[in-house]
Amino acid sequence: MKKSTKTLPAIITGVAILIGGIWMINESRYPNVPAFDDHFTRKFLNKDKKAADGFYEFKSKTGQYTMWFPEEYQVLHKYREDYTRNGESYENWSAAYIKPYENDQQTYAINVKFSENDTKSELIYVESLFKEQLGSKKPKQLETSNTRIYYNSAYTYFRGTNQHIVHDSKENPPNLYVAYVADKSSDKVIKLIYDSVGENTETNQMDRKKWFLKMLKNIHFNEGK
């Protein structure tokens, strides 16, 4: 009986070491970037499909689209409203990257909302989005082989509870980017909003614009679903 009692701790220790070893092996298979450090975020990402310049492929849980996801970001999931989905027709999620800066921090965030909007009313939806977010009705436009993209940017700040929008990029680099991406062969659309908060978050306007457009151009809606 005593021999059996002495053996039990050794077995438990051995099992713990084995489980720990398996866990370390599994973890080592993931890229060493913030996106894969978060277990919720990695559920959406293809670890074997890195895109150029720090992006990985993001696959929607609706099965309706894929896009590029920045490797520094993590999908928010602390609260129920951080990630919401309704079957294959709707998905709304946000992701953030928080960077320490002097005695404060810089916060970078993206919000993606997938839905289906009647193509015949596309211009109405577009006008409403840019009016609401940027106080502007005239977004810039571009196309890929499969999508129509509307986008624009501005510098925004709050004075008290009032939001102020500055469209002159020479005065202040934009810290809010807004886009409406429509599938050419269906009613599927994505509204994507990027914003940053904190001192000196935007130091290179051209680099930020290129970064934003890379995400937009690499949104792919799945056919036949």
Residue 20 banded pLDDT, cuts 50, 70, 90 = very low
What is the structure's pLDDT at 10? 56
- Contacts of residue 41, Cβ cutoff 8 Å, sequence gap at least 6: 35, 73, 74, 75, 95
pLDDT at residue 52, as a whole number:
79
Q: Exposed, middle or buried: residue 197 (CB in 10 Å: 0-12, 13-18, 19+)? A: middle
Q: What whole-number distance in Å separates Cα of residue 166 and Cα of residue 155?
A: 5
CB atoms within 10 A of CB 46: 14
37 or 102: which carries more pLDDT confidence? 37
pLDDT band at 11 (very low <50, low <70, confident <90, very high): low
In the chain, % of residues over pLDDT 70: 87
> For 42-60, what is each residue's pLDDT tens digit?
999 998 888 878 999 999 9
Segment 8-30 mean pLDDT? 53
- Per-residue pLDDT at 21: 45
d(CA 37, CA 67): 20
Which of 12-26, 38-52, 160-174 is predicted least confidently?
12-26
The confidence score (pLDDT) of residue 72 equals 96
Structure confidence at residue 2 (pLDDT): 53
Q: Residue 29 to residues 25, 33, 155: CA-CA distances in angstroms?
A: 7, 12, 40
Q: Sort residue 202 into left (φ over 0), alpha (ψ -120 to 50) or beta.
A: beta
Longest dimension (CA), the chain: 83
**Per-residue pLDDT tens digits for 73-130:** 999 999 999 999 999 999 999 999 999 888 889 999 999 999 999 999 999 999 999 9
Q: How far apart are CA 151 and CA 207, in angstroms?
A: 16
Yes or no: is domain 32-221 CATH 3.40.1000? yes
DSSP 23: H
Q: How far apart are CA 102 and CA 81, in angstroms?
A: 31
Q: What is the mean pLDDT of residues 32-39?
A: 95
Cα–Cα–Cα angle for 127, 131, 134, nearest 5°? 125
CA 19, CA 171: separation in Å to the nearest integer?
57
